[in-house]
Amino acid sequence: MKWIRQRVLSGELMAGTFLNLGSSLTAEMAGQAGFDWVLIDLEHGGGDRQELLLQAQALESSSAGTVVRIPWNDPVIVKRVLDLGVSGIMVPYVQSPEEARKAVAAMRYPPAGIRGVAAMNRACDFGPGFDEYFQAANSQLLTVVQIETGATLECVDEIAAVEGVDVLFIGPLDLSVSLGVPKQFDHPSVRAAFAKVVSACRKSGKVAGVILSKEEEMERAIADGFSFLSFSSDGALVALGMRRIAAAFKRHKQAN
């Protein structure tokens, strides 16, 4: 197991990227690139459980922690994903302390939570690693909740205070849409929302995270107080590279 929770909670700058193609090959590329963590996206990505397994296997030999964004705050999904041996889970669209507590409970074995106990799975080395994993999982699995709506901002201090929530991760696009300023990430209301999330994290000793779309955003995000950072995705980077090459060909075609 590649545990990253303590590194995250220490405030270390943790650099990651999203994987939304469902491809084990781009997952392997991301692992080899040197990221601290990568996120396999089951909410908006192109893969499902089988693709998740293949991507997790492709990342096994890398040092990157594997975080999975599940499609919804569902304990059954959490249980099945954790049994594949990932480092943590990101839960989308958390809008209340109650929903945050639900997510935390799903991440933990009884009596601290409601996660079902099994030994014959990948997380436990298919049996031999059960005792070690069982002793470590409740304290070492990373729990990330997403802050994506204006309603969530109203109770963000209470969400941050929930024991077991480690990272409050902003979904900038969803949040900007919810605030009525789609894609206007520099809008005062969006900037104020970012500041409110960082403040809530500082009050409760939690970590603020966000996904970035431009390299020049990194310095400001770090200055703002974010340390769990993600940049772009495998799909976005592949698409960008292909468009650049096609545009170069187009210029030469027009010149001739």
> Catalytic site residues?
44
User: How many other CB atoms are found less than 10 A from the CB of residue 67?
Assistant: 28
- Residue in the block written with tokens 């996206």: 41
- Residue in the block written with tokens 């996904």: 211
Look up residue 134 and give its amino acid. Answer: F
Residue 111, preceding peptide bond in cis (omega within 30° of 0):
yes
Query: Which phi and psi (to 5°) does residue 41 adopt?
Result: -95, 105
User: How many other CB atoms are found less than 10 A from the CB of residue 147?
Assistant: 28
Query: Could you give the CA distance from residue 93 to residue 156 in angstroms, rounded to a whole number?
Result: 12
Query: Which phi and psi (to 5°) does residue 232 adopt?
Result: 60, -155
Q: Which helix (H) or strand (E) holds 160?
A: helix 156-160
User: How many other CB atoms are found less than 10 A from the CB of residue 128?
Assistant: 10
